[in-house]
Amino acid sequence: MSEEMRTDERVFIMGEDIADMGGSQGVTKGMLDEFGPDRVRNTPISEEAIVGAGVGSAMAGMRPIVEIMYFDFTSMAMDQIFNQAAKWRYMTGGQVTVPLTLRTQGGAGWQSGAQHATMVEAWFTHVPGLKVVMPSQPDDAKLLLKASIRDPNPVLFIEHRDCYPRKGEVPDDVDAIGEIGKARVLREGSDVTVVAYSAMAFHALSAAERLEAEHGISVEVVDPRTLQPLDMGTIVTSVRKTNRCVVAHEAVTFGGFGAEIAAQIQEHAFDHLDAPVLRVGEKFAPIPFAPVLEEFIVPGEAEIIEAVKRVAYVG
Protein backbone atom coordinates (compact mmCIF):
# COMPACT_ATOMS: atom_id res chain seq x y z
CA MET A 1 0.00 0.00 0.00
CA SER A 2 2.84 2.38 0.81
CA GLU A 3 4.46 1.70 -2.56
CA GLU A 4 1.24 2.51 -4.38
CA MET A 5 0.72 5.67 -2.33
CA ARG A 6 4.22 6.86 -3.17
CA THR A 7 3.59 6.13 -6.84
CA ASP A 8 0.07 7.55 -7.17
CA GLU A 9 -1.16 10.53 -5.14
CA ARG A 10 -4.76 9.44 -5.77
CA VAL A 11 -4.30 6.44 -3.50
CA PHE A 12 -5.28 6.87 0.14
CA ILE A 13 -6.48 4.57 2.93
CA MET A 14 -9.26 4.85 5.47
CA GLY A 15 -10.86 2.69 8.11
CA GLU A 16 -11.44 2.21 11.80
CA ASP A 17 -8.31 2.73 13.95
CA ILE A 18 -5.95 2.44 10.98
CA ALA A 19 -3.92 5.59 11.74
CA ASP A 20 -2.18 5.63 15.15
CA MET A 21 -3.20 2.07 16.04
CA GLY A 22 -2.39 0.63 12.61
CA GLY A 23 -5.61 -1.37 12.37
CA SER A 24 -6.65 -4.42 14.38
CA GLN A 25 -3.74 -6.47 13.01
CA GLY A 26 -1.15 -3.66 12.74
CA VAL A 27 -1.06 -3.79 8.94
CA THR A 28 -1.06 0.01 8.50
CA LYS A 29 1.16 0.82 11.45
CA GLY A 30 3.62 3.61 10.64
CA MET A 31 1.84 4.80 7.51
CA LEU A 32 0.38 7.84 9.28
CA ASP A 33 3.90 9.12 9.97
CA GLU A 34 4.85 8.94 6.30
CA PHE A 35 1.66 10.06 4.59
CA GLY A 36 -0.17 12.18 7.17
CA PRO A 37 -3.83 12.30 8.22
CA ASP A 38 -5.14 13.42 4.82
CA ARG A 39 -4.12 10.10 3.24
CA VAL A 40 -4.34 7.82 6.28
CA ARG A 41 -7.82 8.53 7.61
CA ASN A 42 -9.45 7.17 10.74
CA THR A 43 -13.21 6.78 10.33
CA PRO A 44 -16.24 6.53 12.58
CA ILE A 45 -17.59 3.09 13.43
CA SER A 46 -19.97 2.80 10.49
CA GLU A 47 -19.08 0.30 7.79
CA GLU A 48 -21.84 1.58 5.52
CA ALA A 49 -20.49 5.13 5.73
CA ILE A 50 -16.88 4.01 5.25
CA VAL A 51 -17.60 2.01 2.11
CA GLY A 52 -20.00 4.65 0.83
CA ALA A 53 -17.31 7.32 1.15
CA GLY A 54 -14.93 4.98 -0.65
CA VAL A 55 -17.38 4.45 -3.51
CA GLY A 56 -17.94 8.18 -3.87
CA SER A 57 -14.26 9.08 -3.84
CA ALA A 58 -13.51 6.32 -6.36
CA MET A 59 -16.22 7.62 -8.68
CA ALA A 60 -14.70 11.10 -8.31
CA GLY A 61 -11.29 9.93 -9.51
CA MET A 62 -9.47 8.79 -6.37
CA ARG A 63 -8.20 5.25 -5.67
CA PRO A 64 -9.27 4.55 -2.09
CA ILE A 65 -8.24 1.56 -0.02
CA VAL A 66 -11.00 0.98 2.51
CA GLU A 67 -10.34 -1.34 5.43
CA ILE A 68 -13.20 -3.19 7.11
CA MET A 69 -11.82 -4.33 10.45
CA TYR A 70 -13.33 -7.83 10.34
CA PHE A 71 -14.77 -9.80 7.42
CA ASP A 72 -18.00 -10.29 9.39
CA PHE A 73 -18.56 -6.53 9.37
CA THR A 74 -18.94 -6.39 5.59
CA SER A 75 -22.56 -7.35 6.30
CA MET A 76 -23.06 -3.81 7.60
CA ALA A 77 -22.10 -2.38 4.20
CA MET A 78 -23.83 -4.78 1.82
CA ASP A 79 -25.90 -2.13 0.05
CA GLN A 80 -22.81 -0.04 -0.70
CA ILE A 81 -20.85 -3.07 -1.91
CA PHE A 82 -23.60 -4.91 -3.77
CA ASN A 83 -25.82 -2.13 -5.12
CA GLN A 84 -23.35 0.73 -5.50
CA ALA A 85 -19.70 -0.28 -5.95
CA ALA A 86 -20.39 -3.35 -8.10
CA LYS A 87 -23.03 -1.82 -10.39
CA TRP A 88 -22.10 1.75 -11.29
CA ARG A 89 -19.72 0.93 -14.13
CA TYR A 90 -22.36 -1.29 -15.76
CA MET A 91 -25.23 1.13 -15.20
CA THR A 92 -23.30 4.01 -16.78
CA GLY A 93 -22.04 2.02 -19.74
CA GLY A 94 -18.47 2.41 -18.54
CA GLN A 95 -18.64 6.19 -18.15
CA VAL A 96 -18.10 5.87 -14.39
CA THR A 97 -15.55 3.51 -12.88
CA VAL A 98 -15.16 2.55 -9.22
CA PRO A 99 -11.47 1.74 -8.56
CA LEU A 100 -12.12 0.84 -4.93
CA THR A 101 -10.02 -1.68 -3.00
CA LEU A 102 -11.93 -3.07 -0.04
CA ARG A 103 -9.52 -4.78 2.37
CA THR A 104 -10.66 -6.96 5.21
CA GLN A 105 -9.36 -9.78 7.38
CA GLY A 106 -10.80 -12.64 9.36
CA GLY A 107 -10.71 -16.34 9.94
CA ALA A 108 -10.77 -18.68 12.90
CA GLY A 109 -7.97 -19.97 15.10
CA TRP A 110 -7.78 -17.03 17.48
CA GLN A 111 -10.84 -17.68 19.67
CA SER A 112 -12.41 -14.39 18.62
CA GLY A 113 -15.97 -15.71 18.62
CA ALA A 114 -18.90 -15.89 16.27
CA GLN A 115 -18.89 -12.23 15.14
CA HIS A 116 -15.20 -11.87 14.33
CA ALA A 117 -14.09 -15.04 12.52
CA THR A 118 -16.62 -15.93 9.81
CA MET A 119 -15.50 -16.52 6.23
CA VAL A 120 -18.26 -15.54 3.79
CA GLU A 121 -16.40 -15.11 0.50
CA ALA A 122 -19.12 -17.02 -1.36
CA TRP A 123 -21.53 -14.11 -0.78
CA PHE A 124 -19.40 -11.82 -2.89
CA THR A 125 -18.35 -14.14 -5.71
CA HIS A 126 -22.02 -14.12 -6.70
CA VAL A 127 -21.95 -10.35 -7.46
CA PRO A 128 -21.24 -9.33 -11.09
CA GLY A 129 -18.95 -6.31 -11.22
CA LEU A 130 -17.00 -7.20 -8.07
CA LYS A 131 -13.64 -8.97 -8.05
CA VAL A 132 -12.66 -11.17 -5.10
CA VAL A 133 -9.04 -11.91 -4.17
CA MET A 134 -7.91 -14.32 -1.40
CA PRO A 135 -4.14 -14.91 -1.50
CA SER A 136 -2.17 -17.28 0.70
CA GLN A 137 1.48 -16.70 -0.18
CA PRO A 138 3.43 -13.58 0.91
CA ASP A 139 4.44 -12.61 -2.63
CA ASP A 140 0.87 -13.00 -3.87
CA ALA A 141 -0.39 -10.87 -1.00
CA LYS A 142 1.81 -8.00 -2.15
CA LEU A 143 1.54 -8.37 -5.91
CA LEU A 144 -2.21 -9.01 -5.99
CA LEU A 145 -2.90 -6.12 -3.63
CA LYS A 146 -0.98 -3.83 -5.96
CA ALA A 147 -2.98 -5.20 -8.89
CA SER A 148 -6.20 -4.62 -6.95
CA ILE A 149 -5.34 -0.99 -6.23
CA ARG A 150 -4.58 -0.35 -9.90
CA ASP A 151 -7.70 -2.15 -11.17
CA PRO A 152 -10.48 0.12 -12.47
CA ASN A 153 -13.09 -2.10 -10.82
CA PRO A 154 -13.99 -2.64 -7.17
CA VAL A 155 -11.96 -5.45 -5.60
CA LEU A 156 -12.65 -7.22 -2.32
CA PHE A 157 -9.24 -8.25 -0.95
CA ILE A 158 -9.63 -10.82 1.84
CA GLU A 159 -6.75 -11.56 4.20
CA HIS A 160 -6.64 -14.40 6.73
CA ARG A 161 -5.09 -13.53 10.06
CA ASP A 162 -3.30 -16.89 10.10
CA CYS A 163 -1.39 -15.76 7.01
CA TYR A 164 0.11 -12.66 8.63
CA PRO A 165 2.95 -14.54 10.40
CA ARG A 166 3.87 -16.48 7.25
CA LYS A 167 7.19 -15.63 5.63
CA GLY A 168 8.50 -15.99 2.09
CA GLU A 169 10.38 -14.27 -0.70
CA VAL A 170 8.66 -11.06 -1.84
CA PRO A 171 9.85 -9.05 -4.87
CA ASP A 172 10.92 -5.49 -4.10
CA ASP A 173 10.34 -4.23 -7.63
CA VAL A 174 7.79 -1.43 -7.28
CA ASP A 175 6.57 -2.05 -10.83
CA ALA A 176 5.86 -5.75 -10.29
CA ILE A 177 2.16 -6.59 -9.92
CA GLY A 178 0.15 -9.79 -9.84
CA GLU A 179 -2.40 -11.10 -12.31
CA ILE A 180 -5.96 -11.14 -11.07
CA GLY A 181 -7.76 -14.21 -12.37
CA LYS A 182 -4.78 -16.58 -12.55
CA ALA A 183 -4.38 -19.62 -10.28
CA ARG A 184 -1.06 -20.95 -8.97
CA VAL A 185 0.15 -24.52 -8.62
CA LEU A 186 1.85 -24.55 -5.21
CA ARG A 187 2.90 -28.20 -5.38
CA GLU A 188 3.11 -30.65 -8.26
CA GLY A 189 1.50 -34.05 -7.84
CA SER A 190 0.04 -36.95 -9.84
CA ASP A 191 -2.61 -38.76 -7.76
CA VAL A 192 -5.04 -36.19 -6.32
CA THR A 193 -5.62 -32.46 -6.88
CA VAL A 194 -6.39 -30.36 -3.81
CA VAL A 195 -7.80 -26.92 -4.55
CA ALA A 196 -7.33 -24.67 -1.52
CA TYR A 197 -7.03 -20.94 -0.95
CA SER A 198 -6.19 -18.48 1.80
CA ALA A 199 -4.98 -20.16 5.02
CA MET A 200 -6.30 -23.54 3.86
CA ALA A 201 -3.57 -23.61 1.23
CA PHE A 202 -1.00 -24.05 4.01
CA HIS A 203 -3.02 -26.88 5.54
CA ALA A 204 -3.19 -28.46 2.08
CA LEU A 205 0.58 -28.25 1.64
CA SER A 206 1.30 -29.83 5.02
CA ALA A 207 -1.33 -32.51 4.35
CA ALA A 208 0.30 -33.26 0.99
CA GLU A 209 3.69 -33.79 2.64
CA ARG A 210 2.21 -36.25 5.15
CA LEU A 211 0.14 -38.09 2.55
CA GLU A 212 3.17 -38.70 0.38
CA ALA A 213 5.42 -39.70 3.28
CA GLU A 214 2.93 -41.93 5.08
CA HIS A 215 0.68 -43.26 2.30
CA GLY A 216 2.56 -42.77 -0.95
CA ILE A 217 -0.16 -40.46 -2.34
CA SER A 218 1.14 -37.70 -4.60
CA VAL A 219 -0.94 -34.55 -4.11
CA GLU A 220 -1.03 -31.52 -6.37
CA VAL A 221 -2.04 -28.31 -4.59
CA VAL A 222 -3.68 -25.55 -6.62
CA ASP A 223 -4.32 -22.13 -5.09
CA PRO A 224 -6.92 -20.16 -7.10
CA ARG A 225 -5.66 -16.91 -5.49
CA THR A 226 -8.59 -15.02 -7.00
CA LEU A 227 -12.12 -16.39 -6.73
CA GLN A 228 -13.72 -13.88 -9.05
CA PRO A 229 -12.65 -14.10 -11.80
CA LEU A 230 -11.80 -17.79 -11.33
CA ASP A 231 -9.10 -19.55 -13.33
CA MET A 232 -10.86 -22.86 -13.98
CA GLY A 233 -8.40 -23.67 -16.77
CA THR A 234 -5.54 -24.34 -14.36
CA ILE A 235 -7.81 -26.33 -12.04
CA VAL A 236 -9.27 -28.47 -14.83
CA THR A 237 -5.82 -29.14 -16.29
CA SER A 238 -4.70 -30.46 -12.91
CA VAL A 239 -7.80 -32.62 -12.45
CA ARG A 240 -7.40 -34.12 -15.92
CA LYS A 241 -3.89 -35.15 -14.86
CA THR A 242 -4.72 -36.57 -11.40
CA ASN A 243 -8.33 -37.73 -12.07
CA ARG A 244 -9.31 -36.96 -8.48
CA CYS A 245 -10.04 -33.74 -6.61
CA VAL A 246 -10.67 -32.34 -3.14
CA VAL A 247 -11.71 -28.70 -2.65
CA ALA A 248 -10.91 -27.18 0.75
CA HIS A 249 -11.89 -23.88 2.33
CA GLU A 250 -12.50 -22.63 5.85
CA ALA A 251 -16.02 -21.35 5.17
CA VAL A 252 -18.96 -23.65 5.91
CA THR A 253 -19.24 -26.46 3.39
CA PHE A 254 -22.93 -25.95 2.58
CA GLY A 255 -23.24 -23.28 -0.10
CA GLY A 256 -19.52 -22.54 0.07
CA PHE A 257 -17.36 -21.54 -2.88
CA GLY A 258 -16.08 -25.10 -3.09
CA ALA A 259 -19.48 -26.13 -4.45
CA GLU A 260 -18.96 -23.84 -7.46
CA ILE A 261 -15.51 -25.29 -8.14
CA ALA A 262 -16.84 -28.85 -7.82
CA ALA A 263 -19.73 -28.09 -10.17
CA GLN A 264 -17.43 -26.64 -12.82
CA ILE A 265 -15.07 -29.61 -12.56
CA GLN A 266 -18.07 -31.87 -13.17
CA GLU A 267 -18.98 -29.79 -16.24
CA HIS A 268 -15.50 -29.60 -17.75
CA ALA A 269 -13.69 -32.74 -16.58
CA PHE A 270 -16.38 -35.30 -15.79
CA ASP A 271 -14.94 -37.98 -18.09
CA HIS A 272 -11.57 -37.67 -16.35
CA LEU A 273 -12.88 -38.22 -12.81
CA ASP A 274 -12.23 -41.57 -11.15
CA ALA A 275 -13.97 -40.50 -7.94
CA PRO A 276 -16.49 -37.87 -6.79
CA VAL A 277 -15.14 -34.40 -6.04
CA LEU A 278 -15.12 -34.01 -2.25
CA ARG A 279 -15.44 -30.77 -0.32
CA VAL A 280 -13.74 -29.91 2.96
CA GLY A 281 -15.24 -27.05 4.94
CA GLU A 282 -16.46 -25.85 8.26
CA LYS A 283 -19.35 -27.56 10.03
CA PHE A 284 -22.64 -25.65 9.73
CA ALA A 285 -22.47 -23.59 12.91
CA PRO A 286 -21.36 -20.16 14.08
CA ILE A 287 -17.71 -20.02 15.16
CA PRO A 288 -17.56 -20.98 18.87
CA PHE A 289 -15.49 -18.98 21.33
CA ALA A 290 -14.24 -22.03 23.28
CA PRO A 291 -10.93 -23.22 21.76
CA VAL A 292 -11.88 -26.93 21.80
CA LEU A 293 -15.18 -26.23 20.05
CA GLU A 294 -13.57 -23.90 17.51
CA GLU A 295 -11.05 -26.60 16.67
CA PHE A 296 -13.88 -29.12 16.32
CA ILE A 297 -15.84 -27.27 13.64
CA VAL A 298 -13.03 -25.54 11.69
CA PRO A 299 -11.26 -27.79 9.14
CA GLY A 300 -7.54 -28.19 8.78
CA GLU A 301 -4.83 -30.65 7.80
CA ALA A 302 -6.55 -33.71 9.28
CA GLU A 303 -9.78 -33.15 7.35
CA ILE A 304 -7.90 -32.70 4.08
CA ILE A 305 -5.94 -35.91 4.67
CA GLU A 306 -9.14 -37.84 5.34
CA ALA A 307 -10.81 -36.51 2.16
CA VAL A 308 -7.77 -37.25 -0.02
CA LYS A 309 -7.56 -40.80 1.30
CA ARG A 310 -11.26 -41.29 0.51
CA VAL A 311 -10.94 -40.21 -3.14
CA ALA A 312 -7.55 -41.92 -3.61
CA TYR A 313 -8.78 -45.30 -2.51
CA VAL A 314 -12.03 -45.28 -4.49
CA GLY A 315 -11.98 -48.25 -6.84
Active site residues: 47, 116
What single string gives the DSSP state of each residue in 160-179? EGGGTT--------TT----
Q: Dihedral (C-alpha) 137, 142, 148, 151: value to the nearest 10 degrees? A: -130
What distance in Å separates the CA atoms of residue 308 and residue 252, rounded to the nearest whole number?
A: 19
Strand partners, 40: 13
Selection from 242, 246, 271, 269 nearest residue 258 by Cα:
246
Selection from 127, 143, 134, 77 nearest residue 106 by Cα:
134
Strands (E), the chain: 11-15, 40-42, 63-68, 101-106, 131-133, 155-160, 184-187, 192-196, 219-223, 226-228, 245-252, 278-282
What distance in Å separates the CA atoms of residue 143 and residue 138, rounded to the nearest whole number?
A: 9
What single string gives the DSSP state of each residue in 1-56? -HHHHHH-TTEEEEETT-SSS--TTSTTTTHHHHH-TTTEEE--S-HHHHHHHHHH
